[in-house]
Structures are given as C-alpha cells and as structure tokens.
Structure 1
Amino acid sequence: MTWVPGAAGTPYGAHNLPYGVFRHDGDQRRIGVRIGDSLLDLDGAEAAGLVLAGGALRAPTLNPFLALGRPQWNAVRTRLTELLTDQAHRAAVEPLLLPLADVELVLPFEVGDYVDFYSSEEHASNVGRIFRPDEAPLLPNWKHLPIGYHGRGGTVVVSGTPVIRPSGQRATPDGPVFGPSTRLDIEAEVGFVVGVPSEQGAPVPVDRFADHVFGVVLVNDWSARDLQAWEYRPLGPFLAKSFATSVSPWVVPLDALADAWVPAPEQDPPVLPYLRDIPHLGLDLRLEVDWNGTVVSRPPFAGMYWTPPQQLAHLTVNGASVRTGDLFASGTVSGPARAQTGSFLELTWGGAEAVALDDGTKRTFLEDGDTVTITATAPGPDGVTVGLGTVRGTIFPTGAPHR
C-alpha cells in the first residue's frame, strides 16, 4: 500500500502509476507519474539518483523512455512502486510530489503515425444502417480483417485543447456547398502507444504485442459527419477526421492492466493465421461519455470484435514499420444497447432522435460551447479499480482563436 496521503484505494494507487508530461510554474516540460491526486516529478527523481533510466526520464517527452523497451519499463515500474510504498523512501521522495491542481498537463509523447481502426461490430453495423440503409450493414471484408485508415498525427492534441469546428464540403439537394460542419460528432475510443519500433519489412506477430506497445490512452476522434458522408466513398475518411483527435494526458502502462484481459468475442468466420491470437483476449475497459454534465453513454470495450494484438499484427503484416510514439486507436467503442454507443451519430440515430440533457436542452450533434468528457476504468488487482484518466474537449466556432 502506498504511503502517499489519499492515494491508497483510489484508481490511481501504486497499482496504476500512469505516465504523463507536465509544466509547473511555467517551467520546461518534465515527465511525471501519477499517484492519487499527486504527481511524482521523475526528472527530479532521476536527477537525485532515486530511479535510473539512462537519463530518459529527464527528457521533455516520454519518447526516449518508450524506446527503451519492456525490460527497462519493468525495472522503472518496480523501482517506482518501491519508492511509493516503502516508508523508508518517504523523506527523499515526498519533496518531489506535486499536487495535480498545481501543474499543467501537456501532450505526453511526440506522436508519429496515427492509425484509426473500426473494430466494434455494433458500431460498424449501426453506421452501415445509417449511412447505407439499402445495403447490408457490414461490408463483405469486415469480419476478415481489421479495417483502418491513416489519420493525421500532427493534429493529435491533449485533453482540454479547444476543438475548432471544421469547415469543408457537404452535400445538399442542389449540389455540394462549403461551410462549417453542421453535424459535428465524437468517437469514444481507446488508443495504444508504441514504444519499441519495428523494422520495415518485418511484421509484428500477435504474440509480440506487449514487446512493442507501452500503454493505453483514451481517444476522442472528433468527426464531421456531413463532411464524412460526402467524401468517404471510395477512399474513406479525410477532412471529416483530420482536424482534431484528442487524447488523455496519462499513458497507462500495459502492466497496470494485467487483470483486465478477458475473453474476446468469438470470430466467425475464422480469421487467417496471422490474425489468430491464442488466447483470444480483449480488455475489459468501461468507458463513460459525458455531454455538458450529463452521462449519455457507457460503452464497453470488452465487446470489441478485433483485439489490440490483431490490430498491430494487421497494421504491420504488409511490412509497414511502427515507430516510437506511433498511436493506433481502436475505433469507436459501442455496445449492443443505445446507451452503450460511442458516437452521437448512433445515440441519436443519425440525428433523428434528440438526446435530452440534464440542463433542459436537447441535442442531436455538437453545438458551439458544448463540452464532451470521456473517462474509463478497468478492473485491477485484488478488486481495486484502474483509472485511465480523462479526455475532454470543448467546441469553439469556426475561425475562433486556438486558445
């Protein structure tokens, strides 16, 4: 049990220890690890010789530490657990703890490539019914491979960054017009952060997932549905997605989720050999979507048809490499019930059924000034809960200043 006041028994106890990057009093960016409602300054800890990582923890971004690989990740995690649970270290460590309320959290890693998948059968089926009502909900390839697209790494932003309403082309009965999106939406997702790179031409097998992936973030893949409906055939999303993707500021290590792996849905028809992950496991992550103070959905990640190891295996099977800081996201997390959907497109069934919020207003898609907050938890050891942080964004009108 941790000696840090107030941290024991919380989702951010010594069983979790997610990593982030922060600024304090306007200083340069530094790496920290969360414990309860405090943050341990790892730059200061390594400078003092309390933890050793070859200087990687003194960098302004997590990337050098991510690149070190699992043996070093495990060694640092073991040492941090010792520092934060053994009273013998309290006098040396306590001066390096900062209240979270006193720091600014920034993007924790430099994002390389960003790939977004489409791995929820419920979400894909719902979108198919809404966008293609006269066709089969799932396209013939959907159960044979994890569908995905390359996004824009340069517009991945940390939670709290304003989201400017995008403009683009949308269809009307009189032809295409240009202007701000009128059907702005969210996608509640889970993202996986690559630590150790792979070689170009060398696929990453499903059983090597944990050798390359360091941890997990929450993702909101903001989506302009009117732009998407006009542009997505035949090549898929482009401007409807590339304007902003928000991620949570904490990277939760895979080791913190060791108790969250559960059997994944059966895959029928059987997948090709390179996608066979035995055992076939997914993560029991429980998401919650809040719209202007009203919880409107609780998407269950455990039901995702395609698993994270399968996504990484498919991403690299053609010889494409991954790099330190690459991010691949699950795609929208949706369950079978309307109150488990991870997008407002599904929640309002294409805008046909407005959602009543607790403040008395009704919504179909996002209006300027709306705030969406996505949180998630997972089961941890001995009945405790693992917190995955928060990803939050507020919509600003087209042309508004970034900050």
Structure 2
Amino acid sequence: MGEITSYKLEDCFHLRARIGWQGLRFEEFIDEGPYLVTGTDFVNGKVYWDTCYHVTEERYRQDTGIQLREHDLLITKDGTIGKTAVVFDCPDKATLNSGVFVVRATTSNVLPHYLYYVLNSQQFSWFMRNILTGSTIKHLNQEHFYNFTFDAPDTVNQRKIVDVLVAVDDVIDKTRAMIEKRINLKNGLMNDLLTGKVRLNGFTGEWKTGKLGDIGSVCMCKRIFKNQTLLRGEVPFYKIGTFGDVADAYISMDLFEQYRKKFSYPKQGDILISAAGTIGRVVVYNGEIAYYQDSNIVWLDNSETKVLNQYLFQYLAIAKWAVPEGSTIPRLYNSNIRATEITYPVDLKEQQSIVDVLTAADERLTSEREQLKKLEDIKRGLMNDLLTNRVSTDKLQGGL
C-alpha cells in the first residue's frame, strides 16, 4: 500500500459552523427558499433534502463559509454528536443550521471522502469517547476536533479504499431501498386483506366487526416487586423497556413456578401487547420460560373460536386503539383494549389463508433485514482492515 502518514485534522482540514450570534429562531424556518441543513436531515450518510427547512435569502447570504457545496463533509457537534454526511445533489442554495460543522480540505493530502470513512470508524468512536468522558456538556469542541489524528496512505490508495467502501455502501443502500419497498408492500397487504377490501380466491363468506373484548378477557401477570428481582437469575423478567428485546432483570425459578401456577400466565401462541411506552407493540409468546411486568404487558385470553391468534397478531399492527383523543399519556388501559375494534372473516380457514400471505411477506422482509445486517458487518470489517492498513485493496480485487 506504500507509505502511511499520520495527520492531525487541523493540518489538512478547516472547520466552519454557524456562530452564536447568527443562530436561527424556529419562527425563521420557512417552507421555501434556500435549504437549511441540520443533523436530523442526515440519513445513511447523506443529506435528505426533503426534510430540510428553508430560510430567507438574507440568512443564507449571512455567512458564505457555511454555504454548502457538492461533496462537502458534514458532522454534528451538538445533540447526537458525530453523525456524518457527505453532500450529494446539492441545491443551488443551502446553508447550515447551528450544531453542524462543514469540514473542508485545505491541502490535497487527504480526500474528504476518505476522512468521512475515518470519522465513521472505531478509531473516531474511541476519540469521541475520550473527549466526552466526564464532561457535563456533550459537545464536539472545535479545538478538540482539530487535534484528532489519523493515518492515511497516499491519495491513490485512499481513492482505492473509498471506491471499495462506496461499492459496499451502494449495495447497502439498495438493500435498504428493497426493505422499504417490502415494508410498503406489507402495509398495503395488511390494509387490504385485514379489512376485507380485497378477498383471497375461493372465499366469499361473511366478515364481522367486533371488539377485542368480545374475543377474550385482558390478562396480565402477577405484580413483581423490585426486591423480588435479580441482576442474574434463571427466569428473564421483561419490563416495558425490554419488551421484545433482551431482559435486564430476572426472578427465581421458585417464584416463577409459584406465580405461574397460582395466577394468570400466557399460554403458547398468545399475543403479548405493550400497554405503556410505545403502545400496541405485539410479541408472540412461544412458550419460553419468562415473566412479564403486570399492567404494562398484557394479553387476550383468546380461545381462538372466533379469531386465530396469528390473525390477531397481524391485525393489531393496524388496529386503531380506543384511546381518548388528545390524550398525552401513552397508556392502554384494559378498557381501551376491550373497546378496540377488530374486523375479521368468520371462516377460520380464510383467516389462516390471510395469515399465510402476510407471514410470507414477513419472512421475505426478515430475510432482507438479515442480509442488511450481514452487509453492515462486512462493511465494519472492511473499514477496520482498510483504514488501519491491515489489508491492502489489492487483496480485495475480485472479492467484492
């Protein structure tokens, strides 16, 4: 790969941001005019122009140093610190809001796009962790940032590294686009099939609209108190913050067996529902040994004589929960759940056929998401190898 040189950021790049007295008030954000870019407009390493606010010509002209150009490198210095984006398809007029640096080369020694990948590497994560540790104000200080050091080969090899990583990013972007397409397809299928707007071939029977309370009673586990939980144990205890994820608390097997036998406990196939936080999230209980936080995680004791649990699982993704309009408390009470409407075909075979179609769509979506994760893992490995000079781009020829 040739000679490797160590650089300090200030030796080859200049930082510019909107200074304090130029700060914009929210009422200055308008619907037309020059684009205003903030860190929230960064999506997968690019600026998503459709979400940008706009400002007046006067505000745009106020600082020529933050007027954006094609291929500018941006990084957030406040809020979610360290988010990066490269400017592509730059409009004629665009400027920065507070909280974002534009990083521009002052020499030809380091390609801005190479630096973009460095700023997304583990090395920069460690740098950020070191400068923010112990600080009460989370902010990427210009002085600190200028002191960031990194290694780089000559620009010919930098370009080769960038080309490899851009090629991987292109595949990742296409996979994300496919996932978005499949999500839209699944949403369309749910709205058509779960409402009876579209019927599957061979089915002409009756559909009904009822209440979830007509299907079964709302149940929950017995309350677990904090002094009954363990940091490590035999039985995972899921709270609303870990529902559908990894438990961070446990209970003993003795307590689990005692409560499971004496009080309400889900049966295999029941649909667990989040009643707090992000309300209406659903998880299928598959019979695993686990316990769930009372009132925050509930289920319907469904005999499946009217509605299959698998159909219920799909339907709850589009359900309009019967919560009071204007309510600011994200909470589903048992009465809200019981009063929520559900539409379903009376024929259980039709329900199962609908489930089969939607499950197939879910499986394709899961496959795409798994592929995306693999690609992201490959990219992380490549970045680690290429940016630390452990692997030469020459060894990757024909391997992508």
Query: What interval of TM-score do these two structures reach, taking the shorter chain for normalisation?
Result: under 0.3
Give the TM-score, by structure 2 length: 0.22
Higher strand share: 1
Quick one: higher RCO (CA 8 Å, sep 6+), 1 or 2? 1
Higher Cα Rg, which structure: 2
Give the TM-score, by structure 1 length: 0.22
Higher helix share: 2
